[in-house]
Amino acid sequence: MSNRHLMGRRQFLVLSSTCAVAAATVGPKLFGGEAATPNRLAVGFMSLEDRAAVADAASIASGDGAFIGRGARVTVSGASGASADPRARRAVELIAHFSYFDGAERRVAPFRAWGCNRVTGCQGSPVGFTVPVDDVQKIVFTVGVERGTPEGMASRRDALFMEATERTALPFVLSVQNDGAYKLARGYYVVVPMFEGDSDPRWSAWTVRTVDGRFALVDADGNVASFEHFVLRIDYATL
């Protein structure tokens, strides 16, 4: 029997409180280990023009300056390749950060473009929105990823023995400039939340198609990739 079962209630509550404070200070590595925490994104890209196989988005040679003055039209259609059990999913939201001026001060307004509930599921209608590119010459997203047992999935008693929920926001930036971010181009960006130790997808084995109303990675036989991913379609807002 574990030490947890041998503790008195008061001792266990004190220890739990101490661990919770430590988790907030140290971060998600404390519980479950780094190997189980989504901590980066793998990003693939397929051009709108040639629609060839997907490639690593880092291979885009340069940003497209034609987005300046036109803006970018972003379409998100939800996750593909995810487990049928919502609790096993990794991505929980996509937030676009709009930059604007309030008088002389620059501010950022978050827009929740897509969200997933790990209790009830997360599919819905595709969402399209326009992001201005003129001022900062980039589009800034954060992808919310989550692991552990979702709230509401267990009784209060069972929750004491279940994996704590951990949430992380991972940045995803598309830029016209050569500033270290992914380059902004017309095409499909495939975003895959990765655990430590995961291998990046072999991008050349996949292409992007619409399956059941959602963009998805498919192989030469039309099979959807079995790993969780979502796709952003990005084009000029005005031609």
Q: 217 forms bridges with which residues in the sheet?
A: 208
Q: Is 10 exposed, middle or buried (0-12, 13-18, 19+ CB in 10 A)?
A: exposed
3-class secondary structure, 180: coil
Q: Are strands 138-147 and 166-175 parallel, antiparallel or unpaired?
A: antiparallel
Partners of 224 in beta bridges: 218
Q: How many CB atoms lie under 10 A from the CB of residue 17?
A: 10
Task: Determine the pLDDT at residue 152.
Answer: 55
- The DSSP secondary-structure symbol of 121 reads B
In this prediction, residue 13 carries a pLDDT of: 34
Query: What pLDDT shows up at residue 15?
Result: 34
Question: What is the pLDDT, as a whole number, of residue 3?
Answer: 45
Give the CB-side neighbour count of residue 64, counting CA atoms within 13 A. 17
pTM for the model stands at: 0.76
Residues forming beta bridges with residue 187, ordered by sequence position: 47, 234
Instruction: Mark the ranges of the chain whose per-residue pLDDT is less than 50.
Output: 1-35, 155, 157-162
* Burial of 206: CB neighbours in 10 Å, binned 0-12, 13-18, 19+: buried
Domain boundaries, the chain: 1-27, 31-236
pLDDT digits (tens, 9 = 90+) for 144-156: 887 777 765 554 5
pLDDT at position 196: 76
